[in-house]
């Protein structure tokens, strides 16, 4: 996923993206954000002595609206 994201990012900067590629890039960004969020949840649960398998993927709208 990361390699594809980087390829599309490079195309966006150079030649621009088709509508389909722009949509795919956005989908990849959301999926990667969800993956990182799940990893952070698992690490936090493990650090707190909880079962990391109890972590659940959050909805895209939740993950995308986090303040950084």
Eight-class DSSP state of 16:
-
Spans of all domains in the chain:
2-64
* pLDDT attached to residue 12: 78
pLDDT of residue 6 exceeding 90: no
Quote the pLDDT of residue 68: 63
pLDDT of residue 42: 98
How confident is the model over 12-37, as pLDDT tens digits? 777 788 889 899 989 999 999 999 99
pLDDT tens-digit profile of 48-66? Answer: 999 999 999 999 989 888 7
**Full-model pTM:** 0.77
Cβ density class 33-42: b for 16+ within 10 Å, e for less: bbeebbeebb
């Amino acid at each position: 996923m990361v390699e594809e994201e980087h390829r599309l990012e490079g195309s966006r900067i150079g030649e621009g993206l088709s509508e389909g590629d722009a949509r795919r890039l956005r989908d990849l960004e959301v999926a990667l954000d969800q993956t990182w969020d799940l990893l952070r949840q698992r690490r936090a649960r493990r650090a707190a002595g909880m079962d990391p398998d109890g972590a659940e993927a959050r909805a895209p709208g939740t993950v995308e609206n986090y303040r950084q």
